[in-house]
Every structure is written in C-alpha cells, then in structure tokens.
Amino acid sequence: MKIQNLDNLMVSASEVKKELPEIMTKQMTKVIVKNNTPVSVIMPYTEYIAMNEGRLEEQKQLSEIGEDMTLVNGVQVKIVAEQGSSFSADDLVIKLYVKMKSSGDYKLHFTYNMCPPSREQTLTIEELTKYYSGELLMF
C-alpha cells in the first residue's frame, strides 16, 4: 500500500491539540509523531471498525471451533487444529489460544507447524510388511 502525502498524514504531538477540531470534523486520519517517531494514530471510527471486522470474525470463529479446556492453574485455553500455514499448504498447524479474563477474547499464545503424516504411517505393521513385499497396493 502506497501512502500519498505523508507530510499531510503526520502531525507532531504538540500540534494535535490545535488540529483536533479540524481532524474530527473532516474525519481525517493522522499519525501523531514525537521526536520523529510515530507514537499514535487518529482515524475515523468507521475506518477503525472496517479494519477490525476481520479480527472480530476470527474471534467469532474461535468461539465456535476448537477445544476449550481449563488448566490446573485456572487459565482457560482453546486448542485449534488447521491445515495450511505460511510455510506450506499441506502443513498441519496447531494453535493454542489463551482466554482473556477481562474481555473473554482469545489471544494467540503458541503456534506449532508440522508436516502431515505420510500414507505409510496409516498402516499397521502387518500392512507395512505386505506393502513392502508387494502384496498390498497403496491407495
């Protein structure tokens, strides 16, 4: 995403108080800068909601899938298994989410990626023996 007119987008922390009425009436997005470092963003509420719709949908899906459990220390977690990761579409991904006490939202705590099991791993020892001797054809 290319940002146009970066100078118009940025406002110093000391100037925010003066420009706030204009920012609010024109529903502008501004990046607040302190010592040439971005520290905060002001944006219209509709843009904020649109930006977070995906996150809200993800939270809704999390509440519907996965396995909830309470650990010995009282922490509630949810374990979700998925297929496909940033490494490979075939990978299996297990994600552990921690349930926040105050909001009830789930926060990603840990992700474990693993390669899928091979077809041979679905066979018993007897079937493997037959497969390697040529008596059993694979799928």
**DSSP for 76-119?**
EEEEEEEE--SS-TT-EEEEEEEE-TTT--EEEEEEEEEPPPPG
Residue 13 has pLDDT above 80, yes or no: yes
* pLDDT tens for each residue of 19-37: 888 888 888 888 888 888 8
* pLDDT tens for each residue of 60-80: 565 456 778 899 999 999 888
- Helix locations, 1-44, DSSP H: 6-9, 16-25
Residue 119 has pLDDT above 50, yes or no: yes
Greater confidence (2 vs 85) lies with 85
Greater confidence (114 vs 51) lies with 114
Residues in the chain: 139
Is the pTM value of this prediction over 0.95? Answer: no
Name the CATH topology of 6-43: YefM-like fold (3.40.1620)
> What residue spans define the domains of the chain?
6-43, 66-114
Burial (CB < 10 A; 0-12, 13-18, 19+), residue 59, is middle
